[in-house]
Amino acid sequence: MDQATKRELLDKDRQRVWHPFTQMKDYARQDHLLIEKAEGIFLYDADGNRYYDTVSSWWVNVHGHGHPRIKQAIIRQLEETDHIMFSGFTHRPGIELADKLLAIAPPGLGKTFYSDNGSTAVEVALKMSFQYWRHVGRPSKTKFAYLANSYHGDTLGAVSVGGVDLFHATFRPLLFDGYRLPSPLVGEWSGGRPTPEAAETSVAKALEAVKQLFETSAGEIAGLIVEPMIQAAGGMLMHPAAYIAGLRELCSRYDVHLIADEVAVGFGRTGTMFACEHAHVTPDLLCLSKGLTAGMMPLAATLCTDAIYEAFYDDYETQKTFFHGHSFTGNPLACAVALESLRIFEEEGVLDNVRAASDALRGHLPGLETFRHVANMRHLGLVAAFDLYADAASQTPYPPSERRGYQVYLEALKEGLILRPLGDTIYYWLPHCTTVAQLEDIVSRTSSVLERLGYR
Amino acid sequence: MDQATKRELLDKDRQRVWHPFTQMKDYARQDHLLIEKAEGIFLYDADGNRYYDTVSSWWVNVHGHGHPRIKQAIIRQLEETDHIMFSGFTHRPGIELADKLLAIAPPGLGKTFYSDNGSTAVEVALKMSFQYWRHVGRPSKTKFAYLANSYHGDTLGAVSVGGVDLFHATFRPLLFDGYRLPSPLVGEWSGGRPTPEAAETSVAKALEAVKQLFETSAGEIAGLIVEPMIQAAGGMLMHPAAYIAGLRELCSRYDVHLIADEVAVGFGRTGTMFACEHAHVTPDLLCLSKGLTAGMMPLAATLCTDAIYEAFYDDYETQKTFFHGHSFTGNPLACAVALESLRIFEEEGVLDNVRAASDALRGHLPGLETFRHVANMRHLGLVAAFDLYADAASQTPYPPSERRGYQVYLEALKEGLILRPLGDTIYYWLPHCTTVAQLEDIVSRTSSVLERLGYR
């Protein structure tokens, strides 16, 4: 791209675009990075600089950018139908994807309801759960339980079950009330990586809080929502699978829907196709998006049990219809892409590569742990994270005004690396196509950045 | 498609898919229509039957299905980038579309914030308005005013400002409180089409209710949200432009944001590019989706004034960031499609065709009005609607259990016509490519359906 065009575009960007989750004043004196090519794990800016997309473009990309089979799937679908409405009408990609998702999801889920993004997948789950209890004669079950540090999206229903005050506290007067449960393991890390015994104690404590809540209040709780295995936007906080297994057991015992929000963690990112598999658990409602289309375009799905579906299935006059829908529900292009992505998973041994990359990643992390200001290294599948501390031993944080994570982000860009932080937490959220050699390079570049910024 | 494949797909559909806004038991003994081809205004099912898509596939399609320039725009974009994150990064189609939208929108809007669908476009507007008042030191402005019969989407924030009880009443315990204002003109139609004098009186009355509310409560109202010119899902209820002009005047006088939800009515459907143009009004926040991508794939935008944007623009530490975002924000494919659609508008005289088709449509409607059970014919641009009554003169409705609108829908399918009803309201929501000859055919087929069902 010539420099005049580049300058013109970036000026227009500053003048016309309000970017998401961004304090725009951060870009008063620096430009957004103008990307003009994307291939595999790499993004290329308008000056030809190359960047490792170590966050999979906000956790969505799966098989790398520009995968030829994904592109071909779109072109093929364009020759059949573009978008057609999905109420009264149906189409092959929408049907086949629904069927395929239920075939690979944890056993016991029966129906697929489409929407457009993670927030709407969660809103659908909340509304289904809420309405279900009305239909089965338990209308007092109207509230939801959720975890501290959870993030489930930015529409106001999803915000109501969010536990990250930075994102959500402002909107309090617009939110419905719920029960906030403690996040497992948080605050239990003091002094470094938790021992197996400490982890077990933490899980027991967190589950005890759930049990106590259900004991007194299950009669008014419709569902409990959780991000299985990793609370992602809340700081890449990981918990043992035993916590999810425990939630399943308690939800079943006390008649509360278990809603698994796998928008971020689904589709192989944790090493298994779905994160619930680590705990051998089937939720009552499963929310999917992001990786569903291999990161190509918006699509979401909420999978539910037949028991939930059947509570809505009745003569029209009984007014049990689930009145929810979005214009582009079941978009055929997006469904065709998602189907092709699942075929790639099967035919190209994607989960095998995830496991190999995950093992290699694990091998490299101790090198990063040698940095004096790095603590709480955690890792699952293609996700790894650590926190920066002024003093790691006592876990004394840096003053927030220093924005250490953000400084790492800026410095990493110079190193050809996208290390998008969450506060002072630095993480990788790698695409499934990452090779062992790329991993080595990524970790080595991360070391250089930390070295230069004086974290040794 | 061979019959075995067709049967297999439809069985899977019934077994696996939960369709939006659908009582699935309605399909216990009939299949969803399996569409396998879409071209221009027509959909084709798996048996080769052809249907006029008179509802533009849920109000999204613009230039007809399978428009070659739209398909080419996708294929071109696939050669540049697939999806990349839009925070910290930017790209040509996202910038150019933001710029273009602001260039064609009513004057005075300054920034574009992307999301994925109509519901999220509305949620963004509500959250921006709410947070704006906090930043300018008026934190008591936390509530929203909305109209009876309004529909703004299905996420719980959007549902909270919805005025159609059939869709929304169930979820009351999850909704925030607001002020429901009377819908202009509703109930004023008794006896047929309103005279200009009756319309003027109705508008004055509806605006008086707004004024009274603002007089007592503007200090706690952040914004008023309205679907300009047509309350669509609420029953295709139309109001004069004077109502929107009056709202603008009152909102300005009492310091309340005017939020125009043009998700359905935007992009030429009412005869002007945006419905607000009928009233020569610029809202503070403008919500767009559906026709934005010519109906190809999900994308939404919320346009706002620079005054709103500037209230969020500050040092990071002041905590004024708008923490909202969706993974696929600014999806490059969708932006590229939207840009191409706007080029088609300019280069192919689309609005001229809309006006010609609208004129032809107006000429044909009196024929439908001769039916004894048809009343309240209304028309604007490519939208026309009428209601079925047991006795039209006294506006006595049919018993809801007879589902008259639904019967018309089923019968119309046999006539190769998609007449999706809203209760007993039958409407057209035609794509911009509709020809005068097609219009004639559509109205004539509608007549046949009404004739056969005994509405003469």
Residues β-bridged to residue B304: B111, B285
CATH assignment at residue B76: 3.40.640.10
End-to-end CA distance of chain A: 39
Spatial contact of B409 and B420, defined as CB atoms under 8 Å apart: yes
A452 annotated to a ligand binding site: no
SS3 at position A37: strand
Tell me: do B126 and B44 sit in the same domain: no
Whether residue A410 lies within 8 A of chain B, CB to CB, comes out as no
Residue A415, domain CATH: 3.90.1150.10
**Contact assessment for residue B322 and residue B312, using Cβ atoms and an 8 Å cutoff:** yes
Distance of CA A165 to the CA centre of its chain: 18
DSSP string across A217-262: HGGGEEEEEE-SSEETTTT-EE--HHHHHHHHHHHHHHT-EEEEE-
Q: Which helix H or strand E contains A120, and what residues bound it?
A: helix A118-135
Judged by CB atoms closer than 8 Å, whether chains meet at A18 and B94 is answered as: no
* φ, ψ dihedrals at A69, nearest 5°: -70, -35
Q: Is residue A26 part of a domain?
A: no
- A322 and A428 inside one domain: no
Q: Does B327 carry a binding-site annotation?
A: yes
Does residue B17 fall inside a structural domain? no
Looking at beta carbons, which residues of chain B come within 8 Å of A94? Answer: 17
pLDDT higher than threshold 70 for residue B192: no
Phi-psi sector, B353: left (phi>0), alpha (psi -120 to 50), beta: alpha
Helical axes B332-347 vs B350-369, angle rounded to 10°: 80
Report the C-alpha gap between B31 and B339 in whole angstroms: 37
pLDDT of residue A345: 98
Report ipTM (2 d.p.): 0.97
- Lowest-confidence pick of A264-268, B13-17, B241-245, B394-398: B394-398
Where does the pLDDT of residue B55 fall: very low under 50, low under 70, confident under 90, or very high at 90 and above? very high
Residue bearing the bigger pLDDT, B192 or B34 = B34
B248 is in an annotated binding site: no
CA B305 to the chain's CA centroid? 22
User: Is B63 touching A (CB cutoff 8 A)?
Assistant: no
Q: Which of A316, A347, A378 is the last residue of a domain?
A: A347
Number of compact structural domains in chain A: 2
- pLDDT at residue number B187: 55
Last residue of a domain, one of B321, B347, B373: B347
Rounded to whole angstroms, how far apart are CA atoms B312 and B306? 10
pLDDT tens per residue across span A22-37 = 999 999 999 999 999 9
pLDDT value of position A297? 98
In a domain, A367, yes or no: yes
Q: Closest approach of chain A CAs to the CA of B391, in angstroms?
A: 23
Tell me, yes or no, whether B142 lies in a domain. Answer: yes
Q: Would you state the pLDDT for residue B395?
A: 86
Residues B410 and B335 in one domain: no
A266 and A144 in a common domain: yes
Q: Is there a single domain that holds both residue B294 and residue B366?
A: no
Residue A12 sits at the chain B interface (C-beta within 8 Å)? yes
Task: Inspect the interface and report whether the beta carbons of A22 and B61 lie closer than 8 Å.
Answer: no
Among candidate residues B260, B257, B255, the one with its CA nearest the CA of residue B272:
B260
Q: Is residue A13 part of a domain?
A: no
Amino acid identity for residue A445 in this structure: R
pLDDT in tens, B249-267: 999 999 999 999 999 999 9
| Among the partner residues A83, A88, A314, nearest to B295 by beta-carbon distance | A83
Cβ of residue A262 closer than 8 Å to a chain B Cβ: no
With 70 as the cut, is the pLDDT of residue B348 above it? yes
Range of the domain at B186: 70-347
B290 is in an annotated binding site: yes
Kindly report the nearest CA distance between residue A161 and chain B, in angstroms: 11
Which residue, B305, B331, B347, sits at the end of a domain?
Answer: B347
| Cβ-based neighbour number of residue B177 at 10 Å | 12
Flag if A304 and B35 touch (Cβ within 8 Å).
Answer: no
DSSP string covering B424-447: TEEEEE--TT--HHHHHHHHHHHH
Which residues of chain A have a pLDDT value below 70?
Answer: 186-193
Instruction: Measure CB to CB from residue A313 to each of B24, B290, B322 and give the nearest one.
Output: B24
A363 is in an annotated binding site: no
Same domain, B42 and B175: no
- Count the Cβ atoms, other than its own, within 10 Å of residue A244: 26
pLDDT band at B393; cut points 50, 70, 90: confident
Residue A8 contacts B, CB cutoff 8 Å: no
Question: Do A322 and A359 have their domain in common?
Answer: no
Q: Which amino acid is at A50?
A: R
- Please check whether residues A312 and A391 belong to one and the same domain: no
Q: What is the pLDDT of residue A190?
A: 42
Closest Cα in chain B to A1 = B92
Mean of the pLDDT values across residues B35-61? 97
Digit-coded pLDDT (tens) for A43-95:
999 999 999 999 999 999 999 999 999 999 999 999 999 999 999 999 999 99
- Domain membership flag for residue A16: no
A191 against B106, higher pLDDT: B106
- What is the average per-residue pLDDT within B308-315? 98
Residue A142: list chain B partners with CB under 8 A. 173-174
Sort out which chain A residues have CB atoms less than 8 A from B113's CB and list them.
Answer: 18, 20
CB pairs under 8 A between A and B: 417
Residues B45 and B190 reside in one and the same domain: no
Query: Interior CA angle at A120 toward A423 and A159, to 5°?
Result: 45
Check whether residue A43 and residue A177 sit in a common domain: no
Same domain, A130 and A268: yes
| 3-class secondary-structure state, position A52 | strand
Q: At what angle do helices A92-104 and B3-16 cross, to 10 degrees?
A: 50
Does A119 sit within 8 Å of B155, measured CB to CB? yes
| pLDDT at residue B193, as a whole number | 64
Q: What is the pLDDT of residue B27?
A: 95
Mapped onto helix, strand or coil, the DSSP state of residue B433 is coil
DSSP conformational letter for B40:
B
Q: What angle do CA A382, B333, A115 make, to 5 degrees?
A: 70
Contact: B176, A171; criterion CB under 8 Å? no
- B296 and B443 fall within a common domain: no
pLDDT digits (tens, 9 = 90+) for B215-235: 999 999 999 999 999 999 999
Does residue B15 form part of some domain? no
Give the per-residue pLDDT at B191: 44
Could you tell me if residue B145 is inside a domain? yes
